[in-house]
Structure 1
């Protein structure tokens, strides 16, 4: 016996992904999500749920919506189309280099903060020590 695929309402997806209804409608307006319509009710299928997850991950990683659209559309395409795979590999290389640079910048900033914190702690200890000695 065939079990019907699970579906979600817009509110359920919004709750599950911790986004607003407006965010989901925006992605729908951009053509990134295409829920089924039952009258005025949007019904989201597993494909929409996966695509929303990919969109949000792409946003977190700094991809533009156009880049996300291209990549997410590959989710539906037949695998192995050379142009798509080359494009995706190029995007991965570019994004990886950007993220590695950001990681390096963050590591350097954290080290600089640790150095400033250590100096402040030492200055505070010396100041308190002098205050105790003079009282």
Structure 2
């Protein structure tokens, strides 16, 4: 994924998009939402280390299932007076909520799979109990 940058590095939209394996449209979308704010040199966007870091955080948040507004809040907290501490405290609260949501979904999936297994077993048992002449294809 993202490689190490050196101070003073800048990137074009193509370089940023390639580095993070996203489309130019996605990069512009994050810019339109105010999540990143590249420098403009005429019509060209110039991305700095801050934009690159923010984009990395945005994509990590998305992989973890956070909505963009939560990602924005977490990122923006870094610039708040309490800085990193408030950001980390908020992020930990959001992680707890996301984990609880995912665990509930996992329980729901496990229950659905168990129900499917039970239904499949009953169908197979019923099919096995039919006399050979009673077996028909689903279409006829």
TM-score by length of 1: 0.68
- Aligned CA-pair RMSD: 3.2
Aligned length: 128
Structure 1 pair 101–4 and aligned structure 2 pair: CA distance change class (3 A): same
Match of 1:54 in 2: 57
- Distance in 2 between the 1:106 and 1:8 partners? 43
Counterpart check, 1:72 vs 2:75: yes
Structure 1 pair 56–84 and aligned structure 2 pair: CA distance change class (3 A): closer
- Which 5+ residue runs of structure 1 have no aligned equivalent? 119-135
Q: 2:21 aligns with which of 18, 30, 42?
A: 18
- Distance in 2 between the 1:17 and 1:116 partners? 44
Note the alpha carbon deviations across 1:36-93, whole angstroms, 9 max, x for none. 112211111111111111111212222221111101112344223xx65543332121
- Which 5+ residue runs of structure 2 have no aligned equivalent? 1-5, 122-140
2:40 match: secondary structure: strand
Structure 1 pair 66–4 and aligned structure 2 pair: CA distance change class (3 A): closer
Matches of residues 1-135 of structure 1 in structure 2 within 5 Å?
4-77=7-80, 78-80=83-85, 84-106=87-109
Structure with greater helix share of residues: 1
TM-score by length of 2: 0.66
